[in-house]
Amino acid sequence: MTQSSLGQLTDQKNRNKNVLFPKICVSLIEKDPTLILRIAREMAESDVDMVEWRLDYVVNEMDIEELLRLFQKIRVILAEKELLVTLRTHLEGGSVRVSKECYRQTYLGLLKTGLVDWLDIEAKRPLEWFNEVLVEANKQHCQIIASYHNFLETPSNSYLEKLVLDFMKINPDVIKIAVMPEFEEDVWRLLHWNQQTLQCLGQIKIIAIAMGELGKISRLVGGITGSYLTFTSFSKVSAPGQLKFEEVHWLFSLAKIKLAEQGSEDNGEEKNSKN
């Protein structure tokens, strides 16, 4: 990203002292149940806002009953954290091939426990993959992230706009767009697109992520343009370009302190000018 582009983001941040820092999510991507539970305990003791359990790492390793028992243990450990459940298919970067029936039945089984806070839906899949899942999620008051991942390019703004409008037909709580930039300009364009889309469609939340080395900056400054959530690594990286949770949390904490200090200085200057 160019210095001028980053400068424009900084100017916008300085004008908005109440900028919303995105929630920080970490992914639980181990295969061994014992290791999954150990890392879940570490996550529970950390300052992460949300944990994503990536089912594609375990769905072929155990049957549905074993999966449900493991999920209930994870849920108890992460009782104080928001829990996102994701079965990422190979079509969008997942670790295994997943059939339509596996996708439906796994999600339905977990939803019926009533313990899922968030569910990721690959909304470009045909509707029959997830129509029953959406009904059950609504019944269980589970929030939906409609997601799209493109590991090859950053599509045009018009394509992304159409994607968002299509996704909104299933009434998700959040729309996630994760794309691969080829140039620095793609990152800047994605951030601008996110901001402009939210201004036009203010009722929807969007997660906008540029992946890979070029896109790292989007994981840090996305909140300035309205991105709802940023994904960081905890034990392992689950997507290209992810930053470590500790680094992102430290930077966000420092930025909040600096903004608070700036706000105090501004208030002091305002009082002095009145006097």
**What residues are labeled active site?**
149, 176
Query: Would the annotation count 125 as a binding residue?
Result: no
15 is in an annotated binding site: no
Q: Is 242 annotated as a binding residue?
A: yes
Q: State how beta strands 205-210 and 174-179 pair.
A: parallel
Residue-wise over 213-236: b if at least 16 C-beta within 10 A, else e? ebbbbbbbbbbbbbbbbbbbbbbe
Which residues does 166 contact at the CB level (< 8 Å), separation at least 6? Answer: 123
The annotation status of 189 as a binding-site residue, yes or no, is no
Euclidean distance between CA atoms 91 and 150, whole angstroms: 9
What one-letter code names the amino acid at 144? I
Q: Which among 152, 156, 205 is positioned nearest to 179, based on CA atoms?
A: 152
Q: Between vectors from CA 152 to CA 150 and to CA 154, what angle results, nearest 5°?
A: 65
97 in a known ligand binding site: no
- The answer on whether 88 is annotated among ligand-binding residues is yes
Nearest to 71 by CA among 123, 119, 121, 23: 119
Is the Cβ–Cβ distance between 55 and 86 less than 8 Å?
yes
Residues belonging to the binding site for 3-dehydroquinate are 27, 52-54, 88, 219, 238, 242
Which residues are part of a known binding site?
27, 52-54, 88, 219, 238, 242
